[in-house]
A and B are shown apart, each in its own frame.
Chain A
Amino acid sequence: MSDQPEKTQQTPTPPPEKRTLIQRIFVRRGARDTVLIPILAIFTAMLVGGVIIAVSTPEVRDAWRQFFQAPWEAIKITIETVWNAYVALFVGAFGSPSEIVNGFRTWIQTGNSLTLLRALRPIGESLMLTTPYIFAGLAVALGFRGGLFNIGAEGQIFVGGLAAAFVGYSFKGLPWIIHLPLALLAAILAGAVWGAIPGFLKARYGAHEVINTIMMNYIAFRLADYLLQGPMSRPDRMPITPDVLPSAWLPTLLPSPVRVHLGLIIALIMAGVVYWFLWKTPLGLEIRMAGANPRAARYAGIRIAVIIVLTMALSGALAGMAGANQVLGVEHRMVRAFSSGYGFDSIALALLGNSHPLGVVLAAFLFGFLQGGAAQMQATVGVPIEIIKIIQGLIIIFVAAPEIIRSLYRIKTKEEKEKLIAKESQISS
């Protein structure tokens, strides 16, 4: 939309800009909008979140009641409260910097790494929370690129988790080099099937994938209910599966108490794979074409129906990996309430990351660290953890409706700028 041909008629074509390698990787054309808008959106959402935190703190409200007696006091307490909350969020997400430095010092001096590992635990937790977000965000982003709305990531995560757990506890005596990939593969297949069914129904019968993926969510929940109480339940009939054998665990990257595990590395690799697949392979091109303009893609000889099923299957497979990640890396068993809203959060992630793997990874880090820090914030400052959900919702609003951000910060779009320039040149001539 932004580069229409008639504009180039008046202005002479600018000389091709020279771009360094770094620029070429990170700053794409029109990058200002894809980078600036999300950053301002996050900033604005945090600001609004700060106001909510302030309003919901009794001391702040009391101070504002005395506003006319002591105006500065009220403002000071407000800023202090919000500052303290966000510092707690930061420390909860990254750990305390001084403790980390301290830990390093002890480790170098005495060779005792325990202090360091304890100090690194918060950041490890945040990274652990980031991992499923990467998988699920990639799943939805891949669907978006193919023009499909996969709202069923939640259900695909469930069946992925079930499959991984089943392989994880029932296949005994395998070496980890076979067992772990097998469990992952099972989850990938389960997720792919769960995604492919709505894909098939869309391709063959034109049934809208949004409702069907939601229905598939419910079917997955019921399936989990059934399997966890019946065939897959522990011998003591608790509604959880037996423990996954250690040979299928995703190994932790650092010794205990840091819990971040191999899943993070796999997730990052998958982000690279998705990028390579979508932008460097013919099939990826077909998916993106089908997403950008299905009619044109059809005339270009692309078999839309096949592409739709494939896109949904791949999307489901990625979501299934998120489920495997939780079962094999974190819980080590399948429990009933095990995916907490990743399905909807992943839509936010894909949107925030502009459906680009790099963007999704960055957005996933944001969400993971927010989640990791929120618990600490609740413990120390007493701000309920759910503030994160509100901030996430606000971020999506601002990213999805960039006009709000533009009018807040008076950023002009390319078209507006060109109009302005044209007007000025008219006046001057």
Chain B
Amino acid sequence: MAESALTQAQPKVRSSQSLIAGTISLVIAGLLFLLGLNAVGDISKFVLTSQRAGVTIAAPDLVLPTGISLFILAFLVAVLGGYQIVSGSKRVSLFVGLSAVVLVFGFLIWATHGKSLNLTGMLVSSVIRATPIALAALAGIYSERSGVVNIGIEGMMLMGAFVSVVAASVTQNLIIGVIAGILAGMLMGALHAVLSIKYRVNQIISGTVLIILGLGITSYLTRLLLDVYPDQLNSPPSAIPSLQVFGLWRIPVIGPVIFNQSSLIYLLWVMLIFTQVLFFRTRWGLRVRSVGEHPKAADTLGINVFRTRYLSVLISGAIGGLAGTYISLGVAGQFTEGISAGKGFLGLAAMIFGNWMPGGAYLGALIFGFFDSWQEKLSILQIGIPVELLAMAPYIATMIVLSGFVGRSRMPAADGVPYQKE
């Protein structure tokens, strides 16, 4: 009933939407202009040389006149906004998105005025911070594309993080640790699957169970075991090493950011492409999506809805476990209580941000990761603006995207609905 009302109102909504979007761009332009006025004579210095683990990859510094750069950016955004309003273009999300990106970088230029900032280091840490979020988002995509809402990724991550560290410590073998972490996540996935598919428990409640149990079990065992035997159980041989790709890792800026990262990050990239192909180019992917959109129709066509959902949720658990493994074994090199720190929820947000698509989700994760390291750098620069408030930006952005102010994100139709055979 709501649909018909929506389609009727469509043209009007469109034009008002592009008007709002254009206005947002113009406001951003104004903001950039003011920032420029604030730092007219200054210079922003961005260091591009990377220093990691004792290896220096030299690159010339990027020196920008703060005021002029900001004025140019303001002009570009103003043109963008003006064009948006005049043309009434439908690609609202593109325009607003571009303006927002320019605003973020403009802000960075302003914040650096009279100081210097290591841009390469910031990008490297953005990619690192984005990885667990992206993995969590990928875990969410597998589950939700098949119609099972999974808010329990946080619990899967905690179990994966815990088990992988313990396994790696006991065997002193990183690969066994990673596999164990994946299996632990799958175990949680199996619990979620049994509860929500077999017993048709409300999927959000089932997800809450995963979170409570994941936190409870790992904290319990931490007190009982890890705190008592830290040397035997909480000291893996090393963190997962970086992989340097041939000579490419020596390229300035790009090298450190893309070609000298943890092996798990490459695994993530491979998985992202693989997932995209799997869901949109293979028969299996089509089946999973049909189960998530209209399980009854899929069932009529002979697709086993239950088996498809079980498999998808198990895969989701495996990836969730891997996400936890990356945090503990991949970065921290040990397990501490509550180590996932809400990355699972951010993953869900990234998934929605990316409209349940692997590429979009990774973009969302990169934005979260970027803001995370942005916030850290800004607090070092001491710009006089409370960093905590700026840190709210990605959450607010997610809410805006979810509300369809900027482009519509659409969840699988049967997401969250338990399937019952008649």
Contact = CB atoms under 8 A, between A and B. Distances in A.
Given A223-B388, A401-B199, A393 B209 contact: yes
A408 B347 CA distance: 37
B208 interface: yes
Contacts of B386: 226, 229-230
A403 B198 CA distance: 10
Contacts, number: 128
A330 interface: no
B212 A207 contact: no
Which residue among B151, B342, B399 has the maximum number of chain A CB atoms within 10 Å of its CB? Answer: B399
Interface string B378-396: 0000000010110110011
Main secondary structure of the interface of A (DSSP, over half): helix
Interface residues of B, number: 41
Nearest to A198: B399
Contacts of A170: none
A401 B205 CA distance: 10
B134 to A, nearest CB: 17
A208 B402 contact: yes
B216 interface: yes
Contacts of A215: 349, 395-396, 398-399
Contacts of A207: 399, 402-404
Contacts of A204: 403
Interface stretch (B91-99, B174-182, B219-227): B219-227
B232 to A, nearest CB: 15
A151 B348 CA distance: 14
Contact of A386 (B223, B388, B389): B223
Interface string A375-419: 000000000111111101110110011011000000000000000
Contacts of B199: 400-401, 403-404
Interface residues of A, number: 49
B217 A390 contact: yes
B220 A390 contact: yes
B405 A205 contact: yes
Interface in A349-365: 351
B195 interface: yes
B7 to A, nearest CB: 15
28 contacts: A151-B151, A151-B208, A206-B404, A207-B402, A207-B403, A210-B204, A211-B348, A216-B399, A218-B392, A218-B395, A219-B392, A223-B389, A226-B386, A347-B208, A348-B212, A384-B219, A384-B223, A384-B224, A389-B215, A389-B216, A393-B212, A393-B216, A396-B205, A396-B209, A397-B201, A400-B199, A401-B195, A401-B201
Given A223-B392, A397-B209, A400-B206, 8 more contacts: A219-B392, A222-B389, A392-B212, A400-B199, A400-B201, A400-B202, A400-B205, A401-B201
Interface of B: 1, 149, 151, 195, 199, 201-202, 204-206, 208-209, 211-213, 215-217, 219-220, 223-224, 342, 345, 348-349, 352, 386, 388-389, 391-392, 395-396, 398-399, 402-405, 411
